[in-house]
Amino acid sequence: MALGKVVRFDDVRGYGFIVPDDGGEDIFMHANDLQNDKAMYRPGTIVEFELGHGDRGPKASMVSVVEAAPSRGGGQAGYPGDDEDVLCDVLSAREFRQEMTETLLESVPTLTAAQIVQIRQAVARVARDHHWLAN
């Protein structure tokens, strides 16, 4: 069994992704392969799974929760309580770079590559400090 962290799970569509502890590309997981209630698979949840391959790449099966995602609730300023419906994606570094680059190019097409890299690095530091990115 392999270990990883849920980075995204859409319980309406019934699928999500795991970033493996040993690195590599994100692994697809489907609700049919979950061993626990799908509400338990929030971003940040530690899971164990069997690694296989699907039509589009790595796929997890026999996915079970090892450790629930840390709670960010409790009524602290800026953090919703646990009972609220909040969906927040935790992106892999690769996904973050791609999203950031596309956003910058669409917003300010005159930016140079060097400027884009500098902005991405600065924003990534903030994102890591706030645990918005998977390790």
Q: What is the pLDDT of residues 116-128, one digit of tens each?
A: 889 988 888 887 7
Q: How far apart are the first and last CA of the chain?
A: 20
Q: Which domain holds residue 10?
A: 2-67
Per-residue pLDDT tens digits for 13-66: 889 999 998 888 889 999 999 999 888 898 889 999 999 988 888 999 999 999
Our count of domains for the chain comes to 2
Query: Has residue 77 been placed in a domain?
Result: no
- In the structure encoding, which two tokens stand for residue 123, read together? 């924003």
Q: How much is the pLDDT for 87?
A: 52
Residues 12 and 60 in one domain: yes
Q: How much is the pLDDT for 24?
A: 81
Per-residue pLDDT tens digits for 53-92: 888 889 999 999 999 887 654 444 343 444 444 455 667 7
- Specify whether the CB–CB gap between 45 and 90 falls below 8 A: no
- In the structure encoding, which two tokens stand for residue 108, read together? 């300010």
